[in-house]
């Protein structure tokens, strides 16, 4: 006799001995169903309240690419679902680069990461979408990139494909490529060398004197203008300066609209320099490049105020990267050019020893800054 069967016999025997009637059992069953129904209704009401709060949140336009933008989106979605991510399309490495070369599609990698970041269950979806095949013709390709390829082939247009995946994943917000045209990042260095492609630019960013997109006159997606019109705040970065943030600002019509817009533009500064791309550059240099591409200084810059532990600093130093900070004189220069400076505790040290922006704290800081810039309240 199993333990479960013995317990059942004892329970039934006890009920009969106590004169418990079948009607009482049914009545208890109705109470259980009522209790479950009540708890279910409470959960549904709580979920509806959350969705209502998110629907009433501020309207943010986040501009950039790479891991920095996806980290930002992951934090913002806890405060609002009115988010539009405009993502760079100059990536030419890894799976994305192979799909660009073999299929002529726009690079899907950064788009994929942003879609995952805005999804309801991003941890589970990330493992699924980022799964990489280990052999055969698909070796090195991520499943998410292939899904976007299939959607592009089905719809005949990359933007339509991204919109389709937006809908399928029911994300909190919207992800769009900044343009649907095939573009190449091109830069000229101080010694007159021409650098073509994101990978070449990333190797010699500190030597750059001019940067552009080819072909010239690239048009943004038409939705870019409407989302700017409805935005409460536009956020640039965080992300690689020359290969994630600035490429979006090289789409001239979009930047012209952003420059004349009355919406505050906030630049989220990087935590560290990047070997090759921004080696030897100061925080002020980063902001000045953004200002050069934008045609004016951003309305505000957000800086990390946490100190990176010395062992980690030494590790990054050996790789050619240094922490970024803003001196008092440089801060006064930015303020004199209409750029407010905000500092917050933004540092997150991952288990692998990599420093990243803390998604939740960055989002919280941006919510405060949004109220400051739009409502004028004191931080």
Whether 10 shows a pLDDT value over 60: the answer reads no
Q: Residue ranges of the alpha helices (H) in the chain?
A: 3-17, 22-55, 66-76, 94-103, 109-117, 122-129, 143-155, 158-169, 198-203, 223-230, 246-249, 252-260, 283-294, 310-318, 328-336, 359-375
Q: How high is the pLDDT of residue 185?
A: 97
pLDDT at 154 over 60: yes
Query: For the chain, what is the total number of helices (H) and then of strands (E)?
Result: 16, 12
Mean pLDDT is lowest, of 90-104, 163-177, 331-345, for 90-104
Mention every residue, 6+ apart, whose C-beta is less than 8 A from residue 212. 186, 187, 250
Cβ–Cβ under 8 Å, residues 262 and 231: no
Q: Does residue 200 register a pLDDT over 60? A: yes
- What's the gap between Cα 137 and its chain centre? 30
* DSSP-assigned beta bridge partners for residue 357: 347
pLDDT at residue 252, rounded to an integer: 96
Instruction: Indicate whether 2 pLDDT > 50.
Output: no
Q: Is the pTM of this model over 0.95?
A: no
Residues facing 61 on adjacent strands:
84, 234
Contacts of 221 (CB under 8 A, 6+ apart): 86, 159, 176, 177, 178, 179, 180
Would you say residue 19 has pLDDT above 60? no
Name residues whose C-beta falls within 8 Å of residue 1's C-beta, 6 or more positions apart in sequence.
Answer: none
Lowest-pLDDT range, 5-19, 76-90, 213-227, 233-247? 5-19
Look at residue 54 in the predicted model and tell me its pLDDT: 83
Cα 118 to chain centroid distance, Å, stands at: 8
- Give the pLDDT confidence of 343-356 residue by residue, as tens digits: 999 999 998 899 99
């Amino acid at each position: 006799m199993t333990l479960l069967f013995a317990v059942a016999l004892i329970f039934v025997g006890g009920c009969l001995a106590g004169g418990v009637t079948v009607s009482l059992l049914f009545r208890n069953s109705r109470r259980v169903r009522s209790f479950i129904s009540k708890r279910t209704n409470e959960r549904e009401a709580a979920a509806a309240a959350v969705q209502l709060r998110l629907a009433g949140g501020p309207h943010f336009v986040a501009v950039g690419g790479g891991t920095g933008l996806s980290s930002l989106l992951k934090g913002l979605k806890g405060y609002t679902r009115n988010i539009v991510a405009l993502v760079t399309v100059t990536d030419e490495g890894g799976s994305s680069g192979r799909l660009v070369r073999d299929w002529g599609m726009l690079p899907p990698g950064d788009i994929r990461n942003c879609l995952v970041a805005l999804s309801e269950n991003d941890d589970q979806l990330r493992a699924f979408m980022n799964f990489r095949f280990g052999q055969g013709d698909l070796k090195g390709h991520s499943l998410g990139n292939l899904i976007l390829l299939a959607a592009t082939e089905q719809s005949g247009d990359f933007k339509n494909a991204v919109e389709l995946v937006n809908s399928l994943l029911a994300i909190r917000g919207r992800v769009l490529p900044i343009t649907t045209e095939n573009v190449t990042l091109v830069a000229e260095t101080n010694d007159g060398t021409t650098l073509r492609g994101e990978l070449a630019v990333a190797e010699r960013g500190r030597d750059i004197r001019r940067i552009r997109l080819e072909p010239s006159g690239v048009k943004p997606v038409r939705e870019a203008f409407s989302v700017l019109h409805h935005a409460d705040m536009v956020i640039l970065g965080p992300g690689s300066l020359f290969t994630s943030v600035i490429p979006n600002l090289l789409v001239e019509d979009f930047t012209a609209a952003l420059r004349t817009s009355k919406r505050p533009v906030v630049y989220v500064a990087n935590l560290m320099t990047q070997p090759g791309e921004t080696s030897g550059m100061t925080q002020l240099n980063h902001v000045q490049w953004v200002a050069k591409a934008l045609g004016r200084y951003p309305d505000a810059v957000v800086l990390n105020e946490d100190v990176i532990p010395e062992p980690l600093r030494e590790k990054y130093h050996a790789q050619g990267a240094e922490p970024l900070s803003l001196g008092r004189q440089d801060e006064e220069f930015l303020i004199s050019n209409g750029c407010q400076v905000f500092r917050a505790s933004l540092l997150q040290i991952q288990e692998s020893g990599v420093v990243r922006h803390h998604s939740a704290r960055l989002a919280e800081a941006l919510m405060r800054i949004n109220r400051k810039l739009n409502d004028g309240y004191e931080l």
